Structure formats: C-alpha cells, structure tokens
C-alpha cells in the first residue's frame, strides 16, 4: 500500500491589498489508485497539480489523502474505510474496481464519488447514462474507439490476416473494447485469437502464445494488467516482428508499438475540475455528465518501430488520414523518467511558462514532437 498526505493550499495573498479578508476553506479528498502504472499515475499527477492550481485561484485548501491498493481488494477496502473514518468530503476512485467499491461503500451517505479511467461506466453499473449518472457519483471515462485502432492496424499493414487480443479477462475496462474488436474483425473477415492473463507472469505466457499463434498484430485496450506488464513483454513482440497496438500512449511509453486515443493527462485534469465543481460550486454528481477523452491521437514508439523493421515516416503517413495527430515517443518506465531523460529535469523554456515539462500548456507529446520545447 502506497500512501501519502498532501495539503494543496491556496497561496497567501498580501493582506495589505485586500479590503475584505477571504477565509480559505478546507476540503478533504481521498484518492485511491488501483495499480501503479504509467497511465493511472499520469491521471493522479495531473489531478493533484490541477487541484493545486484551482486552490491557488479560489483561495481554498484541498487536503488530499492518496493511496494505491495495488489491485488488492482487501487493501482497497481498508483504504476506503480509512477515508470514511477521516471524514473526507469527496472520494476519487481511479479505475473501475475502485470506483465500484467506492460506490457501494458510500451508498446512503452524502459523500460524493468522482471516478476516473472507467472505460464503460454504464456497463459497469456505475451510472444510468453518460449524460445523467443518476446517483451521487460522476467522473471521466477512458472509453476507447476500438474500430479506429483496428483501422490503424490495417492502414499500417493492409495484409493483416490474424490479430491477437491480449487482455485480462477480469478487467471490466477491457470487456466492451474486446467485444467491439471481435465484432469489427468478424464483419471484416479478419481472424483473431484471444489470450488472457491476470498477472504479469500470465501475461508473459500469453504473449508467448500469441507469437506461437502466428498473429500479424496484437491489440490491447486500456487494460491495467497488461499496462503493468508491458515493459516485460514489449521485447518479445519486437523480436517476433509483431506490432502491439494499444489504447493509450502510456503503453507506447513502456515499449508497445503504438497507443491510440486516450489522453490520461487531460483525463486527470478534467477529473480535478469535476471535483472542484462539486465541492466549490455545489454541482450535483447525479446530473453532471461523464466526460470522455478520445482525442484521435496516435503515439508511436520510434525505438520499437525501428526494432520491428518499420520506417516511422511511412508509418506516420499511413496513420495520418485516420488521426488528428501522430506523435513520437521512446521507451521509458514513466513519464517522469522520460521527462528527466529528455530535459535533464529542467523546466519548460518555450516562452509559454516555467512549469515542469509535463505541466506545460502544450501536451507532452507536442513537446516531444517539437524540439524547440526542450532545454538542451
């Protein structure tokens, strides 16, 4: 269990310039992350940084209790119980299992829940509809347009005949996307084979099986179990000449060939906006629409691309008609590590700001594509 306490307080204003004192209010927020991976950590980082901005702007203090249950249901239950005992004003559940447990735990109470990275909120039974959740919770979804990923696979390799589906059968975040992928391939005459794993060891065995199956490509949606294992399987696929297409740029960060669709940085920032709207403005979660963030951007790992014997410019040209943008990335364990490797830990020097690189007004992928945004 990974735990930390953060007080995100408003900056003190010069009282000599104020005719009326402004009293800062304190709000307690409990955030539980499902697992330690690049996608979900990016949400938490941007959630916390955005809350700091709002706190400074509005003159309030957000006291955050953060913990990570590492996919352990018993630990998750204890974290949520601790939040309740501490009297938090609002809970944030990162990923579907946490959101579902928070929903059950807060039923009949006045504690609102804001979720993030829930791929299918309706299918998971969290909300009645995306436009009107209907209960004391709302949030942000990492819903994936699976058909767009399938089209990218065909665009890069028009001769694709067999696609491997790699996912955790126990992950609610994968259910709808996998069914959509199968429906697309059935309709378009593409053969597919499914391999699943619930632990990193099982995922590694599943990857080996897909290679033995002779698939032309592998698809994984926004699956946290596969995300956690990506660094341990990417070389297997590269050595076999099999591109791994995924539902988020964080997979590409960890060595997958390509990620598409979900912007987890914006997901985290928007989650913070929802939290603030509920706590500061009295917004009703039951009538606050769930937000989705499929931005149509593909992110290609250029190291993996080269390892597969593919030319990035050719890949980019094939993808561009289907995307709003095609970005580059190289392999790293986390976005913080990537930032450190590329900037030496220095601040953005674009003229826009002096924030750390990942918090620049430009997205980190834009920065990677534009060397003028780096400090040598």
Pair 193, 162: CB distance under 8 Å: yes
Who contacts 179 (Cβ-Cβ below 8 Å, separation ≥6)?
none
Tokens linked to 39: 């996608």
Taking domain 146-262+295-332, whether its CATH number is 3.30.70.980 is answered by no
Local structure of 64: helix, strand or coil:
strand
Of 93, 190, 193, 74, which is closest to residue 137 (Cα–Cα)?
Answer: 93
376-344-248 Cα angle (round to 5): 105
d(CA 250, CA 256) in angstroms, rounded, equals: 9
Same topology between domain 2-143+263-293 and domain 146-262+295-332? yes
pLDDT at position 279 is 97
Q: Which residues pair with 63 in a beta bridge?
A: 7, 28
Q: What topology is assigned to 2-143+263-293 in CATH?
A: Rossmann fold (3.40.50)
Model pLDDT, residue 265: 86
The domains of the chain are located at 2-143+263-293, 146-262+295-332, 334-376
Q: What integer pLDDT is reported at residue 342 of this predicted model?
A: 59
pTM: 0.75
> What tens-digit pLDDT sequence spans the chain (376 residues)?
556 666 655 444 433 334 333 434 899 999 999 998 888 999 999 999 999 999 999 999 999 999 999 999 999 999 999 999 999 999 999 999 999 999 999 999 999 999 999 989 999 999 999 999 999 999 999 888 899 999 999 999 999 999 999 999 988 879 999 999 999 999 999 999 999 999 999 999 999 999 999 999 999 998 989 999 999 999 999 999 999 999 988 899 999 999 997 778 889 999 999 999 999 999 999 999 999 876 688 999 999 999 999 999 999 999 999 998 899 999 998 777 766 665 555 444 443 333 333 344 344 444 444 433 433 3
Q: DSSP assignment of 310-370, as one string?
A: --HHHHHHHHGGG-SEEEEE---SSHHHHHHHHHTTPBP-SSS--SBGGGSSS-HHHHHH-
Give the CA diameter of the chain. 74
> What does the pLDDT read at residue 26?
92
Q: What is the pLDDT, as a whole number, of residue 376?
A: 30
* Residue 320, both tokens: 């561009």
Which residues fall within 8 angstroms of residue 104, CB to CB, at 6 or more apart?
A: none
């Amino acid at each position: 269990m990974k735990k930390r306490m953060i007080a995100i307080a408003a900056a003190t204003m010069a009282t000599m310039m104020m005719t009326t004192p402004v009293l800062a209010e304190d709000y307690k927020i409990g955030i539980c992350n499902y697992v330690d991976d690049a996608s979900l950590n990016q949400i938490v980082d941007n959630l916390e940084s955005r809350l700091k901005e709002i706190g400074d702007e509005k003159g309030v203090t957000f006291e955050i209790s953060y913990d990570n249950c590492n996919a352990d249901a018993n630990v998750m239950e204890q974290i949520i119980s601790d939040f309740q005992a501490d009297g938090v004003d609002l809970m944030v559940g990162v990923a579907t299992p946490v959101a579902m447990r928070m929903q059950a735990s807060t039923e009949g109470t006045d504690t609102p829940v804001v979720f993030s990275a829930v791929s299918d909120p309706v299918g998971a039974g969290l909300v009645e509809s995306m436009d009107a959740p209907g209960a004391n919770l709302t949030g942000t979804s990492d819903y994936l347009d699976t058909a767009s990923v399938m089209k990218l696979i065909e665009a890069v390799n028009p001769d694709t005949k067999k696609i491997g589906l790699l996912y955790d059968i126990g992950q609610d975040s994968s259910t709808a996307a996998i069914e959509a992928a199968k429906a697309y391939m059935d309709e378009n005459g593409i053969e597919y084979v499914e391999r699943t794993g619930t632990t990193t060891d099982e995922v590694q065995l599943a990857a080996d099986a897909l290679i033995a199956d002779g698939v032309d490509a592998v698809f994984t949606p926004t699956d946290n179990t596969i995300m956690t294992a990506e660094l341990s399987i990417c070389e297997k696929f590269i050595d076999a000449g099999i591109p791994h297409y995924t539902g988020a740029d964080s997979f590409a960060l960890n060595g997958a060939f390509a990620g598409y669709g979900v912007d987890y940085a914006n997901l985290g920032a928007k989650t913070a906006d929802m939290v603030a709207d509920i706590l500061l403005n009295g917004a009703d979660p039951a009538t606050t629409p769930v937000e989705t963030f499929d931005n149509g951007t593909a992110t290609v790992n250029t190291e993996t691309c080269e390892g597969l014997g593919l030319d990035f410019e050719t890949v980019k040209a094939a993808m561009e008609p289907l995307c709003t943008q095609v970005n580059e990335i190289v392999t790293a364990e986390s976005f913080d590590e990537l930032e450190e490797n590329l900037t030496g830990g220095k601040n953005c020097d674009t003229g826009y700001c002096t924030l750390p690189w990942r918090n620049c007004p430009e997205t980190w992928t834009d920065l990677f594509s534009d060397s003028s945004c780096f400090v040598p």
